[in-house]
Structure 1
Amino acid sequence: MRIVEFCGRVLSLHLFLCAQSLPVPDRSFGTRLQVLDRSTGTRLQVLDRRTGTRLQGPPQNPQVLLKNQQDQLKSTLGPRNRTEFWARPHCGVPDDPVTKQRQKRFALFGGRWDKTDLTYRITRFPRHVSEDKVRSVFSEAFGVWSHVTPLRFREVLNEDADIIIDFNRFWHGDDLPFDGPGGVLAHAYFPRSQKEGEVHFDYDESWTAGGNSVGTDLLQVAAHEFGHVLGLQHSLEPGAVMCPFYSDTYPLQLSEDDKRGIQYLYGPPLHTPPDGTQTNDIHPELPDACRTSFDAVSLIRGELFFFKDQYVWRVREGRLQAGYPALSSRHWRGFPDYIDAAYEDKSGNIWFFQADSYWVFDAERKISGPDPVQSLGLPVTDIHAALRWDDDHVEKAFLFKSPFYWTFMVQENQVSDSHPHSVHELAGLPSSIDAAFLDRSGYANFLSGLSYWKFDPVALKVLEGYPRTTGTDFFRCSS
């Protein structure tokens, strides 16, 4: 029996991810969102999350509902299964206050932030994930929520922040101790609660990032906890990000229940046209990955990034990540409005080319640029594609402008010869190349139009069965 099937059934029976912030849920309307007046605790509206319509009628007694759900669960699970069920990794925010005093405080609901530009600070990091990767994961997790709201998040290092993120062990200064690997993974506090803005992760978990299947995916848990710190309770909907049980599912994406809840608190995203007026248009029409001829593709930190105009798609372990396509400038501050080519060198620096200029970034920090491509010894501008190509332990990159390419010697920061090679020397490739990247298996992939060719750099030929459709293989588009 799948855990997600029980999200609605057990929500009020267990201590989940978030601490000291949630009232006894009103079960009388199923998956509806109840909002309480902060000063009086009286109910203002009840909305059906599926339809958004206002509903009337008094709630049932929560103690009666809790007893009914307990009986229902006991009839469904035997003693052994119940023990195994509660041992599953889950959120540590309590849904059932145990004292009248706490219940009275919780009657104020989770609250919301009274601003949309929020800062966050990471005070401690886990053991097995690099600080750069943790920062990238948290940025992506916040992006899941900012993508559908006017909310914007910015990390700060040495100043006060709205949201404080920490990794702790066992007893750590609140009433919700961690329990080592497994069990409770994290907890967070609502706006307007005693510890508003605090997010605590269990330091002893085997946190992973970037597609490692052994361990607990930090992105999944962070997105859930950040939902709490923004004011959302646990969701009754199976498959929702705000379901209290950990589920390592990709791509991570908000359910309609998640979206309705967060947009009720903060509204839909605002698009600001050039004249400065604000509208409720989410954004201009986004390119469709299934019908897009990409400008550039690069394998960065083991993940594929596809670029088109000012947008980027992020693919991890063959799955498009939640919140994408997104603006490229979300990852790289100072990023040009579009790029022609991109590649990651052996040291992890990312090179972006546009027209007659290039930029170099270390992760999301700009190292240099814009600098003229002529300084690299290139006799042309408007590079179409860039491809890392290591040969005899010498780091190289091929820079393409169809139907030619140049060999760029990375250590010398110069092309080896101003005279180009013909693309036709690489048997089986099209004469016009839009983008290229070296995959994790060492094959070179060349994109042209809506198709791509996989090239063996040892045999110097295209693999059998190619070209194939880019959208089908990388974005699971229908044929």
Structure 2
Amino acid sequence: MPGAPAVLRALLLCGLAAPPPARPEPLLRSRDRPALEPAPPRRAQPIADLPAAQRFLSKYGWADAPPGPRGPPAAALAQAVRRFQKVNALPASGRLDAATLAAMNRPRCGVPDTRALPPPAAPPRPKRFLPPPPPPGAPPPEVAAPRGVPRAFAKRTLSWRLLGEGASGQLAEAEQRRILRLAFRMWSEVMPLDFREDLAAPGAAVDIKLAFGRGRHLGCPRVFDGSGQEFAHAWRLGDIHFDDDEHFTPPTSDAGISLLKVAVHEIGHVLGLPHTYRAGSIMQPNYVPQEPVFELDWSDRKAIQKLYGSCEGSFDTVFDWIRKERNQHGAVRMRFSTYFFRNSWYWLYENRNNRTRYGDPIQILSGWHGIPTQHIDAFVHLWTWRRDERYFFKGNQYWRYDSDKDQAYTEDEQGNSYPKLISEGFPGIPSPLDTAFYDRRKQLIYFFKESLVFAFDVNRNQVLDSYPMKITEVFPGIEPQNHPFRNIDSAYYSYAHNSLFFFKGSAYWKVVNDKDKQQHSWLPSNGLFPKQSISERWFDICDVHASTLTV
């Protein structure tokens, strides 16, 4: 049984000075405290008649106000029903038919559809003050923050905590925390916010607190109704509560309600997103059974980035990894994957979907064996009719990578040991490098160092006589002052775009290609188009907090 301080913390979770319960609440338990026997789950009362439907429409923002003794006027009720039917893809008859009642009885989030939850009572917490209900007769708007209250967090690293006294009894507490870490990470993968679990700071200093409860729970003004209907609720820039009468399950389960999916939805509310009825969105008010692969869809990504912006940042190296595959008829086809490296992490970019792979970034140490684990300077794929060699460069050394064994060579088939000095394998090339790329048609490797570029002939194993040259001479700017000039982060030839790009900081410059010249003959050969933002062409390459890398 929790002591008085624990109960007090629970009562303060919603920012309320609520009176203590008459008896210990069974919700304060976890699998780590087996002495507390969980109470059997309650079932929500089904919405089966007009009064229950009126309460539902009022609770979730479809009716203008709670019904009086005689309920709302018939015309207002019919209008509310029609609005609800329309967004649920039902015939907008205004009649309370069986299909409409069934839609009302589906498991759902407790946040109203047309307005945010009302702010808690005293003591006030400014970050929880939310929009008032819309005026009578107004259509369902997007939930907006009231004047003077931010729509989004101003900080870029947010702390969170599953309250120990509010842990569920359905899963081990460690499993609950792991699922919540994954839920926060899913948002961090598509926006420039990090989430950090904080178990040490005072409760008031934690940005987002999460807890499970039943019925009247944790001093909260919202009462859970039992299993089958409302499964959770949340406050913008505030906290999250889960109804512990629901059967929450881990992501690997096909039964019950996925705690991961519900947590991702409720975190969306905390971050400032309203409900939407777009198919595929995680912010739909009703629970949709989890698909085999669950991730945020395009609309959710764009919605959160409208509040917080896109992920920006520089990269150590970017490259396409070419591989050969045989189809069912035995024909060989070339496939490629795009990789972005930054510090000790990397992302695989799915060009077909124009996004990063779900679950990235990953540590270089885990995915690339035997190469330096951070701050790679360059990658080169030397590809001719006779040679197929991949090299990573860092400092004054380079490593050859065995794509078949997925590890760096210690010794290759010619007896060369690795790593080797750049000066030995590529005479005349300085180190450390800024970046490099291989021009397959000319069979030249272009090495970049500060403001100079070196063209290296792979057949004669030497730098061309006319090099080194200024980068601006070999790759002139279409607009002379719109140019990286020196210290390029990465020179990347993209097979998806059939173009060469120079990356520096958060910007890129596209190099004029043959198609550009055919369309506009006045363009200079190898000219650089004016710079653009990397995040506008390659989406959602976002850091995550180090504590979530192994989730």
Q: Which range, TM-score by smaller chain?
A: 0.3 to 0.5
Higher strand share: 1
Which structure's CA Rg is the greater one?
2
Instruction: State the TM-score, normalized to the length of structure 2.
Output: 0.40
